[in-house]
Structure formats: C-alpha cells, structure tokens
Chains A and B, each alone.
Chain A
Amino acid sequence: DAEITQSPRHKITETGRQVTLACHQTWNHNNMFWYRQDLGHGLRLIHYSYGVHDTNKGEVSDGYSVSRSNTEDLPLTLESAASSQTSVYFCASSESLDRGYNEQFFGPGTRLTVL
C-alpha cells in the first residue's frame, strides 16, 4: 500500500547542530508539505513543494530549508538548531490535479528536542 513515512521518529540534538528530518511518500504525489505542531498553536506550515525542484516558504520558515530532488522525498533541514525549534514535525502530501485544495495525507511525525 502507498504510504508516507518520516524518520527518525524521535531525535534529540544540541543547539547549533544541523539536523535533517526525512519524509518519503510512495503515492507519487507532486505536492508535499512540512508542518510543525506546538502546544497552543495547532499545525503551522514551514515549507512546501509542488514538484521536483520547486520549494516555497510557509508561515514559519525562518531557520528551515527544504530541497526536492525527486517526487518521493522532501527532507527538512534545520541549519543551526535552536531550542525554539523543539516541536513535533509532520510531513504531508497531496495530489495536484489542479492548484486548488486536495486531501493531504500526513506522516506519523518526528518529535525533535533541541537541548
């Protein structure tokens, strides 16, 4: 069955280190999204991509970057981790029948702790 996976599921790192969170989907979806989830804020969009080599900034993109070299993967990189980036990170993907809304499918999440 097609799915979306994230790795690692849990990560502890230190302030200033570079961290990369992986997201892999097997639906062949063109659209992929990264969100963070914090107490009191729901899910907030970090970056998103509509296809290979396309990336866009979301609501809370500072300190994060993404790259899209193939359809299946959208890794999220924290260039220099900060304690404020301690959060749970979710990746999602959707079809791109058009540029409108299509159902997003979410991965299981990565819990990141920055000490």
Chain B
Amino acid sequence: GESVGLHLPTLSVQEGDNSIINCAYSNSASDYFIWYKQESGKGPQFIIDIRSNMDKRQGQRVTVLLNKTVKHLSLQIAATQPGDSAVYFCAESRYNQGGKLIFGQGTELSVKP
C-alpha cells in the first residue's frame, strides 16, 4: 500500500483497549498541531487539531494532549477498534507559514481482535 509500513515505531493494542500515540516536536513557534490517519493504500486523513494555546482537545473517541513544556503531543484513542489500524502522523504548522505542514515520521497502530 501507499503508507509507510517499515522502519516506523509500532504500537500493538487489543481491541477495546485505549491507545496512546506520542509525538515529539522541535519548533516551539508552531501555532497548530494536527493528527492525521493514513490507512494502507490511501492518502492521509485529518483526525483532529489543536492550537498551541490549548492543552487538550476532544473529538469523537479521540483526545489530543499538548505539553508545550516538554514539546510533546499525544493522541489518545478510546476503545480502539480494528478500523483504527493505520499509520498516524503528527504535523505542525505556523500561522505565518501559509498553512504549510511539517510532518513527523509516523507511528503504525495495529489492533488485535
């Protein structure tokens, strides 16, 4: 498929458990942080974003936490389902950079039934 499947950090969870995917970023000037999901053979799909002036944002079954002190971002998926199996990317953007995204390398999530 089109997703990056090798040489990535991997996370394996049991169906129904909660998943936590982590991302470290380097640029303290970033204004937005975004999580994308990429299923095999498909393009990245937006999950959720968070402004840099927030610590937490919740969506449907997903929560993003931002810790600016240690430059760390996490995506929590509640009650993980087989359909959540994918590669997850964090990305950052700066307001004065015209919407350009800088992507991390991704984490492959595998959900065991």
Contact = CB atoms under 8 A, between A and B. Distances in A.
The finding on whether chains A and B are genuine partners in a shared complex, rather than unrelated, reads yes
Interface of A: 31, 33, 35, 37-45, 48, 50, 58, 88, 90, 92, 94, 96, 99-109, 111
A43 to B, nearest CB: 4
A75 to B, nearest CB: 17
Given A33-B100, A41-B105, A45-B101, A101 B93 contact: yes
Interface in B1-16: 2, 4, 6-7
A99 B98 contact: yes
Contacts of A103: 34, 46, 49
Contact of B100 (A39, A45, A90): A45
What is the size category of the interface that chain B forms with chain A?
20 to 34
B84 interface: no
B95 A100 contact: yes
Contacts, number: 82
B98 A43 contact: no
A108 B99 CA distance: 20
A106 B44 contact: yes
Contacts of A50: 98
B61 interface: no
B2 A31 contact: no
B99 A31 contact: yes
30 contacts: A31-B99, A35-B103, A37-B2, A38-B4, A39-B7, A40-B105, A42-B89, A42-B105, A43-B101, A45-B101, A48-B98, A90-B44, A99-B96, A99-B99, A100-B31, A101-B31, A101-B32, A101-B93, A101-B95, A101-B99, A101-B101, A104-B46, A104-B99, A104-B101, A106-B43, A106-B45, A107-B43, A109-B2, A109-B42, A111-B2
